[in-house]
Structure 1
Amino acid sequence: MFASPWIAAVFAIFAWWFFTGVILLVVRRADRALQGAHQAAVVVSVPLLALGVAGLVMSTHTLTVANIYISFTSALLIWGWIELAFLTGVITGPETRPCPAGLSGYARFKRAWHTLSYHEMLLLTGLVAVTIASMGSENLFGLWAYVVLLVARISAKLNLFFGVPRINTEFIPTPLTHLKSYFRQGNVTPTFGIGVTFLSVATGCFAERLIVAQTPPEVVGFALLTALSALATLEHWLMVIPLPDAKLWRWMLPTLPTNSKTGGSNEL
């Protein structure tokens, strides 16, 4: 049953929704808790990071259906911990002030980079670690999953910076409220076209490999990657198309004492 491409695709979609929801829930509860809760959440979740690393190392050497699922889930655990560290404000960047009014061009880009630089370097460190763990192995699907997530996240951040019609600030946690001043709501730019085209092509390539796959592990692996890259593509289109995607997680989150602006993609 688990060798079915449809089961694998459903698993990828559920894992994307579940991991996103858990991270948002932890961050939202930390926002409502006492000072130090954000740091505590990151420290307490370190075993999940270790589990992801261990799972990736143990599952890369043999290409089996079980190892494909393990490596894919392990990559999500590693990615999820890094995102939690960012969303809690523990690992972001040296700049924590809002963008000054009137700042534009390279000066605005440089300041925006300093709001995220530590997080971006941690993401690249994660890529290096996942690459080393997968080097010379038969099972590279965990590595490819991490690469898809990394490319999609970089593209999303660039689009939020340069401008998109719809921006969701509902799920931005308290430590990152200054990031809103770096977002630009407006017409799409060439950055959107480049990002969505790249992700669409990646989805098509993974789908083509899925169609011609000869073994159950390859079928499962490429089904997982096709679903994940398709979700990343959809998240980009939600920066343009007015759909209430925030409802996927809003029902499971505790409310904050202050109102938030809603609408748009959940990319941060």
Structure 2
Amino acid sequence: MVTYGLPIVATLVAWWFSTGAILYLDGLPRATFRWSLAGATLAVLAAFWGLAATAGDTSVAGAYLAVFCALVVWGWNELAFLLGYVAGTTREPCAPGLRGFARFGAATRAILHHELALLASLAIIAVLTADGANLFGLATFALLFAMRLSTKLNIYLGVPNTTVEFLPEHLAYLKSYFRQRPMNLLFPLSVTAATLLSAWLVHSVVRAGDPFAITGFVLLATFAVLGLVEHWFLVLPLPVAELWAWGLRSRDEAAHADPALAPARVATPLPSAPGLATPRAVPPPTLVA
């Protein structure tokens, strides 16, 4: 039971804590941002070294280290984005009246640097682990990237629960690229694909023949299921924001100390379908999706 249960618990704790920690750092006064990113950069350098060091390690510890080093690399990208250091080529709201490919192009430019940083990180991990037998770190980052890309596309196309209330003030312009709709055509495909991937990874756990493979596939399967759950967060009226209330507390503390330093917490109107209700507060896309 420990062989299967411990990786699941470790993944859940890492998912919950790392998301909350990033939200907490992002809610601090902007004067702290450079120090937060500097600390995260030291951590990501150590994570890259860890991925290289564990590339040939097929022990249980090697599986854990590879996966969580990849998670640190992912966390650096998320923090750099939310702090506003790595975003896109434009920092302006979507121009009124843009539709189709013009709107998609504008939305892409708004987060282009972030996407390129993610691709560069994936390439670095692939190079560092290319000659090794332990590819769970690479698989973890690729899984997180795919889940997050799916989430971004669904938010762009329109879902009932957007994440606007959790964007910091310096990224408020991104709200104009979101849509609020009851459903979009991509969402059922995304959920189906995530479900099939989760099932395949669970099946891989069953077929795994040694503790290293079992541990690695349990970690991957848990991340995949979390990504699936986070997709459902986009459409189900659940009070999931309470999961990270402690991480959002820094915004309230900053507002109490100096209201001018507090990140914005007020939702702005979104393009929506006729008759659709006001956006509900849900957690931002986390480290999984």
TM-score normalised by L of structure 2: 0.87
Residue aligning to 1:8 = 7
Indicate conservation of the 8 Å contact 1:236/1:265, yes or no: no
Paired AA for residue 242 in structure 1: P
Question: Which aligned pairs between 1:73-92 and structure 2 lie closer than 5 A?
Answer: 73-92=68-87
Indicate conservation of the 8 Å contact 1:38/1:89, yes or no: no
Deviations 1:195-249 (A, max 9, x none): 2222111111110010121111111111101100000010001001111111111
Matched, 1:150 2:149: no
RMSD: 1.6
SS of 2:87's equivalent in the other structure is coil
Distance in 1 (alpha carbons) for counterparts of 2:15 and 2:91: 29
SS of 1:170's equivalent in the other structure is helix
Residue aligning to 2:89 = 94
Distance in 1 (alpha carbons) for counterparts of 2:244 and 2:181: 25
Paired AA for residue 267 in structure 1: P
1:192 to partner: Cα distance: 1.2
Which consecutive unaligned segments of at least 5 residues does structure 2 have? 268-279
Return 122-131 or 248-257, whichever deviates more.
Answer: 248-257
Paired AA for residue 101 in structure 1: P
Residue aligning to 1:263 = 281
Question: Which aligned pairs between 1:1-268 and structure 2 lie closer than 5 A?
Answer: 4-29=3-28, 32-34=29-31, 37-252=32-247, 253-254=249-250, 255=252, 256=255, 257=259, 259-261=265-267, 262-267=280-285
Distance in 1 (alpha carbons) for counterparts of 2:8 and 2:141: 16
TM-score normalised by L of structure 1: 0.93
Paired AA for residue 205 in structure 1: W
After superposing on structure 2, the runs of 4+ consecutive aligned residues of structure 1 that deviate more than 3 Å are 256-259
1:40 to partner: Cα distance: 3.5
Distance in 1 (alpha carbons) for counterparts of 2:185 and 2:198: 20
Paired AA for residue 76 in structure 2: W
Distance in 1 (alpha carbons) for counterparts of 2:6 and 2:18: 18
Distance in 2 (alpha carbons) for counterparts of 1:147 and 1:159: 19
Distance in 1 (alpha carbons) for counterparts of 2:150 and 2:3: 31
Indicate conservation of the 8 Å contact 2:195/2:228, yes or no: yes
Indicate conservation of the 8 Å contact 2:244/2:283, yes or no: no
Deviations 1:74-106 (A, max 9, x none): 000111001111111101011101112222111
SS of 1:83's equivalent in the other structure is helix
| Number of equivalences | 263
Which consecutive unaligned segments of at least 5 residues does structure 1 have? none
Distance in 1 (alpha carbons) for counterparts of 2:21 and 2:89: 27
